[in-house]
Amino acid sequence: MYFKREELEKFRSLKGPLIDVRSPSEYYKGHMPNSINIPLFDNDERSIIGKIYKNNGKEKAIKEGLIFTEKKIENLLKNLFECINTYKSETKEVDKNKLTIKIYCARGGMRSKSISWLLEKFRLNTVTLDGGYKSYRKYTLNSFSKKWNIVLIGGKTGCGKTRLLKSLEKYNYQTIDLEGFACHRGSTFGGLGMGEQPTNENFENKISEKLRKFSDKDYIFVEAESANIGKCKIPYDFFIQMKSSLRIEIIRSESNRLDELISTYSIFSKKELTECVLRIKKRLGPQRTKIGIDSINKEKWDMVCKSVLEYYDKCYEFEKIGKKNIRLLDLTDKEYDENVLDLIKNTLLISSKRN
């Protein structure tokens, strides 16, 4: 399949709902962000048709597909029109002639074309994605090898790196919140309050979508992370660029860091926090584990965080990413506001002069 980025960009730019007609299992593994799954076949039906295609050929597979579709055509149309009407309601768009229903399947074949044909019978504008989700994934993976102007935000646990990234984004800097996309903060406490982690494909798709909106000439601020964030893995080509990027190392006092950790984690239940401490009890050691659990039960949050900080500070010394090109920035007792952003700009200016 020949991949054309301009065709994908044209498809995405059209105004209208984005519909993924693949099976639920295909959609779960990975899909285009903001798409709605309205499967032509469920998981079992897709498996049956695939076996027929392999053993008996395309014609018999199509006939079996038509039998499946005939039984649920009414419900399929209901779901399609609900999706279209929801889009109209949310975007205040009521003129169907101004909408283009964007449809894709695995390779831009029978499934997407069948749904497109069906909707066109109701005089709706439709378009299918040439190459389907496969072409989108090729675009996604290609985006990570492009040369990006990455700046890492580093610092020990509790420095408020994520909060700083959000401040940068608020003032229209290019940022990627890898932990936000991964629904994990990277530590044993990382999954608390973050929801279910996405599949690795969907994690990659989210990063690529953000990169698509960025200029490669401007800085992109990313938190310094290890290759894995929970069960999600940072795309290899992008991570290689991160490893050699400029790193701004945030310095905060222990008091600042404790305040940050307490405000982040004290809202969770004692049971959840205790389970997190027990997951690293071998690495914490019996004494720190006992102090941590006792402090949780007594709601002595500063003692909980202190016992964990001792462990993570030691781990931090082995963290290597971006350490060949570091600029220290002391933000002790400073608010993460527009004034701090000026300090970051000055740090980058000094770095560019040195280089």
Which helix (H) or strand (E) is 3 found in, with range?
none
d(CA 165, CA 313): 21
57 DSSP assignment: -
| 166, burial (CB in 10 Å: exposed 0-12, middle 13-18, buried 19+) | middle
Contact 42, 23 (CB under 8 A): yes
Contact 141, 93 (CB under 8 A): no
d(CA 169, CA 214): 12
Tally Cβ neighbours within 10 Å of residue 252.
21
pLDDT at 320: 61
d(CA 307, CA 291): 7
Query: Two tokens at 85?
Result: 């009407």
Model pTM score: 0.87
Counting every residue written for the chain, the total comes to: 355
Residue 236 CA neighbour count, 13 Å, CB half: 2
pLDDT bin (cut points 50, 70, 90) of residue 355 is low
> Poorest-confidence range of 5-19, 92-106, 138-152, 198-212?
92-106
Query: Two tokens at 340?
Result: 């701090």
pLDDT at 1: 39
- Domains in the chain (CATH in brackets) are 5-140 (3.40.250.10), 147-354 (3.40.50)
Distances (CA, A) of 160 to 125, 223, 253: 48, 10, 12
Q: Mean of the pLDDT values across residues 220-224?
A: 95
Query: Two tokens at 178?
Result: 């890898």
Amino acid at 87: Y
Contact 230, 180 (CB under 8 A): no
According to DSSP, the residues that pair with 263 across neighbouring strands are: none
Q: Which residue has the higher pLDDT, 318 or 159?
A: 159
pLDDT 10s digits, 74-107: 999 999 999 999 999 888 776 767 789 999 999 9
Amino acid at 9: E
3-class SS of residue 240: helix
pLDDT 10s digits, 292-350: 888 889 888 888 888 778 777 777 766 666 667 889 999 999 988 888 888 888 888 76
Percent of the chain with pLDDT over 90: 51
Cα Rg of the chain (Å, integer): 25
Q: Is 122 left (phi over 0), alpha (psi -120 to 50) or beta?
A: alpha
- Tell me the residue ranges of DSSP E strands in 129-245: 150-155, 174-176, 220-223, 228-229, 232-233
Query: Two tokens at 237?
Result: 């080509």
d(CA 295, CA 49): 58
pLDDT at 323: 67
Query: Two tokens at 155?
Result: 């610092």
Contact 307, 158 (CB under 8 A): no
